[in-house]
Amino acid sequence: MKMIDKYKLLLILLPLAFLEMQCSKSGDAGTATPPVTPPIAALVFSGATASNAALQPSSVNYNVSSLPAIRLSFNNKVDRTSVSTAIALNTKTNAVVPVIYSYERGDSTVVITPTSPLESISRYVVNASTSLRSAQQGALGTAVSIRFATQIDSSRKFPLVSDDALLDIIQKQTFKYFYDFGHPVSGLAPERNTSAETVTSGGSGFGIMALITGISRNYITRTEGLTRMQKIIAFLKNTAQTVHGAYPHWLNGTTGAIIPFSTADNGADLVETSYLVQGLICARQYFSGSGDEATLRTDINTIVNRVEWDWFRQNNQDILYWHYSATGGFAINMKIQGWNECLITYVLAASSTTHGVPAAVYTNGWANNGGAGFINGNTYYGYTLPLGPDRGGPLFFEHYSFLGINPNGLSDTYANYVTQTKNHTLINYNYCKTNPNNYFGYSDSTWGLTASDIENGYAASSPANDLGVIAPTAAISSLPYTPVESMKALKFYYYTLGDKIFKDYGFVDAFSLKDQWFASSFLAIDQGPIIAMIENYRTQLLWNLFTSAPEVKAGMISLGFSAPYL
């Protein structure tokens, strides 16, 4: 063998020998180290769609089809045997929705399809838990939760009728709250449909206006209406507890005892009393016949004349105070100062023939001499607002007092009340239409912010306190001010949302398309303005009755108001 060949062989054998020696050394401890098995990769969620539209896990996804194909995609194929226990579709209340599972993209996408259409305008959630596995048995690293809301069912829920017939339907159904559901002993209006013995003085004033409307529209006979009024008046005159002639916010409908509205509010409520007296004056003017109707008028005058409006000046101050308690006196110390829902309180205080107040109480108290809290003058959405807070406040400011007071042609030193009532409503309408908070469902057909029930509570909604809750009474009770905009909302509420919000006593108190919540409640102070303001829009019946009262004319003139009817 040549020397060069030996050298090459040595170069080959030496490494082999060294390797053998190393293996021999490691073998001294036993067997060779087994190879490391790589870990199973985790399953990772990569996205979701519903009917090919992307779904975001971080927020509620709106306007999803009622029969969606919901696709959940992952980085690897899933183990089909783990899907049915790991992925579920649930309602807002956590009820399980039956679904069918199918697979796409080599089993890396799970398709969830409900076995039947989901309820419209309802909240659902798709949950995928960490028990979901890949085909290699890798666990889903992070649970997935996707919330969505189904779209509005735009089909008509009730037969199409003329506008006039539709207003009849709304008024007649709402009338049932006050007539069919009126308290069996007192005849007064329950505070709400779950109030049991609690009746409301202010809401009963609205209910008396509803009763007059029901007679006028032949929902009941005049005799039936008179009989109900006799029951109400007898209770108010002889049984219901008053403090200085004024009624509390709440009463026991059987005993007439005061039911405290709050710990300190356990006596007279002058504002609620004014709503009641407003209705009583309308009834007195309506029941103009002889015999039993004449007796009814006398009894109404007894009730109205014993309200000591001047007592609520608290030692002759130039302002009225809201509350007085037999046990706590003026402890609440709440001034009635505008602009808000209390104009009627000052008009009636000035109109009283037994306990009247001078114009200075209106000027210095209610109007604050045209100062802060009363005068506005700013322009919103192109509409100048004469009075009130930023963007007007809740719409009931323009409803409660104006169930009886006719704003048409009405003015005083501070405002033209057509401008006030109309522009406040149009500001509210345009706020909802513009929808600065981007709440789902707000539109030119879904608008109106006022005080109402909200989910798990109650709130005075307004553009400055917008919780995404719409109250049907807001737009509908504004019919005399914004007939086109209000009628559009009314039709949408009835024809499109009617299966959810038009019930036993008319429209439920409120709803939120944003939260897919629909109240089950009815409140007297919201149902009453609906029926009364629709009637004022149609015939001006209640406006004409209230402003025909001689003492009302005299009182309004004394405060500096002018109108064709004064």
pLDDT in tens, 405-456: 999 999 999 999 999 999 999 999 999 999 999 999 999 999 999 999 999 9
Q: For residue 522, which amino acid is it?
A: F
- Strands 61-64 and 144-150 come out as parallel
- What is the rounded CA–CA span in Å between residue 467 and residue 449? 9
Q: Mean of the pLDDT values across residues 534-547?
A: 98
pLDDT higher than 80, residue 31: no
- 174-189, pLDDT tens digit by residue? 999 999 999 999 999 9
Per-residue pLDDT reduced to its tens digit, 198-238:
999 999 999 999 999 999 999 999 999 999 999 999 999 99
**Crossing angle of helices 292-305 and 270-286, rounded to 10°:** 160
Quick one: CA torsion of 215, 353, 339, 323, rounded to 10 degrees?
Answer: -90
Q: Scan for tokens 């149902």, then name that residue.
A: 527
pLDDT the model gives residue 17 = 43
Superfamily for the 163-558 domain: Glycoside hydrolase 144 (GH144) (1.50.10.140)
Which tens digits make up the pLDDT trace of 305-319? 999 999 999 999 999
Beta bridge partners of 199: 190, 251
Residue with tokens 């890949």: 134
Q: Tell me: domain 45-150, CATH 2.60.40.1220, correct?
A: yes
Residue-range domain boundaries for the chain: 45-150, 163-558
Give the pLDDT band of residue 20 (cuts 50, 70, 90). very low
Q: Tell me the CB-side half-sphere exposure of residue 138, using CA atoms within 13 A.
A: 20
What's the whole-number mean pLDDT along residues 368-378? 94
pLDDT band at 32 (very low <50, low <70, confident <90, very high): low
Average pLDDT across the chain, whole number = 94
557 has a pLDDT exceeding 60:
yes
How much of the chain exceeds pLDDT 90, in percent? 91
Residues 6+ apart with CB under 8 A from 476: 170, 448, 486, 489, 490, 493, 507, 530, 533, 534
Q: Two tokens at 268?
A: 């007279």
Query: What per-residue confidence (pLDDT) applies to 2?
Result: 45
How confident is the model over 258-301, as pLDDT tens digits? 999 999 999 999 999 999 999 999 999 999 999 999 999 999 99
Amino acid (one-letter) located at 1: M
Interatomic CA distance for residues 204 and 276, integer angstroms: 6
Is residue 18 over pLDDT 50? no
Instruction: Tell me if 45-150 shares its fold with 163-558.
Output: no
What would the mean pLDDT of 151-172 be, rounded to a whole number? 98
Tell me how far apart the alpha carbons of residues 563 and 566 are, in angstroms, rounded to a whole number.
Answer: 5
Region 393-413: mean pLDDT is: 98
Band (6; pLDDT cuts 50, 70, 90): very low
Q: pTM for this structure?
A: 0.91
pLDDT at position 542:
98
Confidence check: pLDDT of 7 > 90: no
